[in-house]
Chain A
Amino acid sequence: MNARTHPVPEQFDDPVQQREAATLGMWAFLATEILFFGVLFAGYTLCRVRFPEAFAEASRHTDMLLGTIETAVLLTSSCAVALSVREVQLGGRRLATALLGVTALLGISFLVMHGFEYYAEYQEGLIPSIHYTQQGVYAHGMAIFYCLYYFITGFHSIHVTIGVVLMGVMGWRTWHGAFDQDYHTPLELTALYWHLVDIVWIFVYPVIYLVGRAG
């Protein structure tokens, strides 16, 4: 299959225009996403200014090792999806599909590791209002930290989940030859979305895991 079998929807003149529109649409959507996360980061910043010590203390309760592995996993997956797009642009199909599979698997392993983190935190009594056993000077500020932590990482994990599903769909379509050198916009845009998910995590990682560990 190639571009000829993809009828251009009536509102577009030609595939070039359709591609332009789809790409711009995705960028506009990513701008929206940045503002979604932006609110949470703004809230985080202000609360951290109010409770610097408690935030540092709470951060020390997070699992830095898992967090670091998760970061590596996401970065690797971003690389895999980028390579997959390149492979399709060069006309490949098998390797492209395989790379999408790798991306999806890395995404899933990211979610699983996060699940382990949440479970460990539950056992440690670090989930405000559900199971929170922290006492002492910083209990108050730490609750706010953990509240934001679950909200930010939870919202991010929803994005990862959506990304994994999209990777599956794209892998399926790539395998069945839906994309070629001329037509691969959906794949490219999915990769773009995945990169955003990755970039957001690059901001999440230091503010959650590294804050209390400097020096």
Chain B
Amino acid sequence: MMLPQASSFAPNVDHLFDTLLALCALVVIGVFTVMIVFCVKYRHGTDAERTPAHSHLGVELAWTLIPFFLFMGIFGWSVHLWIKLRTPPKDAQPVYVVAKQWMWKVQHPGGQREIDQLHVPAGQPIRLVMTSQDVIHSFYVPAFRVKQDVLPDRYTQLWFTATQAGTYDLFCAEFCGTDHARMRGRVVVMPPADYARWLHAHQGTGLAAQGADLFRQLGCSGCHDPQSGVHAPNLYDLYGRTVPLADGSQVLADERYLHDSILLPKKQVAAGYAPIMPSFEGRIGEEDVLALVAYLKTRTHAAEDTDEHR
């Protein structure tokens, strides 16, 4: 009844787990055996030799240093894996996750939406960009050996490459209130061809396109379009750039920066602009913010040009 190893990490993590388990078992068996032997041999009433034994510095140092070096070995191995676990590859495909009491809402870049389900292709690195609408949750897929807390007002990310087609349990692992135990879902891993068909069948408006619509509906374009009379940044090619701020510092325009600039525009004001943008906090949900962020990521001059030439 072992857990399936359904991601590229799983075998590596299990390998480390098994090694540590074997090591620990060895120690437990060793110490228990010695204890039992002593308990039998030196129990009251036997005529075992009982000349006083003294503490021995060498012995103490041995059982201080040997565990220490073993631990450091395990630590090194673990850190090696950990860094991989925390560094998504460049080509990882983003999928957006919004957690709320007590459900998982998933949005694919193509606009496909799911609740308590996540469809992913096998063999393709997936990067989940996650945020919470209310309290702290935790995205946990045991079969992948991955888990990441999902925090309100902040993006956390998690990446994996699923390796085996199948359906796997998804749990919320951080206590989040009354129905915490029901905040479960399924991750469906499909062969790439099936996945493409699934995407096609559930095609909605692309996430970026939804964002573009919102950009107009919410009135963002009124100020941020180049034709606008208001002095506001035009947001072209913003994503991934370094932005100088009014207080003299600089910030990388990542997902978190875009998110905060929409909800808390006055937190980090771009240099050269007046802090006149209204806050959208409480007016739009995290899913809409994600759509806007997805749109802003595609708002490049290059994309605009191809649109016009089409």
Contact = CB atoms under 8 A, between A and B. Distances in A.
Interface string A76-119: 00000000000000000000000000000000000000000000
B264 A140 contact: yes
Nearest to B276: A137
Contacts of A140: 264, 266-267
A138 B266 contact: yes
B243 interface: no
Q: Is the interface of B mostly helix, strand, loop or mixed?
A: loop
Interface in B255-308: 264, 266-267, 269, 275
Nearest to B281: A140
Contacts of B266: 136-140
A138 B267 CA distance: 8
B247 interface: yes
A52 B247 CA distance: 9
Interface in B217-250: 246-247
Contacts of B264: 140
Contact of B247 (A53, A136, A139): A53
A51 B268 CA distance: 9
A28 B247 CA distance: 43
Interface in B96-119: none
A51 B266 CA distance: 11
A137 B247 contact: no
A137 to B, nearest CB: 4
Nearest to B245: A53
Interface string A126-141: 0000000000111111
6 contacts: A51-B267, A53-B246, A136-B266, A136-B275, A140-B264, A141-B267
Interface of A: 51-53, 136-141
